[in-house]
């Protein structure tokens, strides 16, 4: 640290799970929707899963019925994203023996839409 020209402090911001995922024509995915600390290394993974599921929902309903698609997307994704967000923020992931398959074996292409 003494040899470093400039030291930057970089805070980790996180947030409790949010009640609102969409309003009108606006829908959130990724960190905008469920920001989390990096302790599970899953933030970007959740964003990619969100995008894949949202695309499936929109393709199921058609773009004109985005309101139904947004509801379907939230119902499909909220429980999982909230669980990952909560564990990441608490930094308890794999501190006890557990099967991590529920995280790594998730298939956004195959998960049943809500
Ligand atoms: C130290 C650290 C380590 C991490 N390690 C991992 C890991 O190993 N695995 C993992 O899955 N995740 C990891 N993450 C989390 C991951 O980086 C984020 O969850 C992911 O980048 C979120 O993607 P996003 O697209 O939702 O948001 P972002 O990547 O933040 O993208 C948002 C984009 O919007 C842009 N933007 C903001 N405001 C505006 C505006 N007004 N107009 C236009 N553009 C705008 C920003 O510049 C940015 O490019 C880590 C995070 C940190 C901090």
> Is 45 near ligand 1, meaning CB less than 6 Å away?
yes
User: Which residue has 């998730």 as its token pair?
Assistant: 106
With respect to residue 84, please indicate whether it lies within any of the assigned structural domains.
yes
Range of the domain at 66: 40-104
The tokens for 113 are 């839409």
Closest residue CA from atom 35 of ligand 1: 32
Written as one string, the DSSP assignment of 53-86 is: HHHHHHHHH-GGGHHHHHHHHHHHHHHHHHHHHH
> Is 100 near ligand 1, meaning CB less than 6 Å away?
no
At 1 the pLDDT is 81
With respect to residue 52, please indicate whether it lies within any of the assigned structural domains.
yes
The tokens for 10 are 């970089």
State pLDDT tens for residues 81-108: 999 999 999 999 999 999 999 999 999 9
> Is 48 near ligand 1, meaning CB less than 6 Å away?
no
With respect to residue 72, please indicate whether it lies within any of the assigned structural domains.
yes
With respect to residue 49, please indicate whether it lies within any of the assigned structural domains.
yes
State pLDDT tens for residues 29-67: 999 999 999 999 999 999 999 999 999 999 999 999 999
């Amino acid at each position: 640290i003494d040899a470093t020209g400039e030291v930057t402090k970089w805070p980790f911001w996180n947030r409790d799970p949010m009640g609102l995922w969409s309003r009108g024509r606006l829908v959130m995915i990724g960190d905008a929707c469920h920001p989390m600390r990096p302790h599970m290394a899953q933030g970007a993974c959740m964003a990619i899963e969100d995008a894949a599921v949202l695309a499936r929902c929109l393709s199921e309903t058609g773009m004109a019925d985005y309101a139904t698609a947004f509801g379907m997307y939230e119902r499909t994704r909220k429980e999982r994203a909230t669980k990952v967000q909560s564990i990441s923020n608490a930094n308890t992931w794999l501190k006890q023996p557990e099967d991590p398959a529920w995280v790594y074996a998730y298939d956004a292409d195959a998960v049943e839409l809500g």
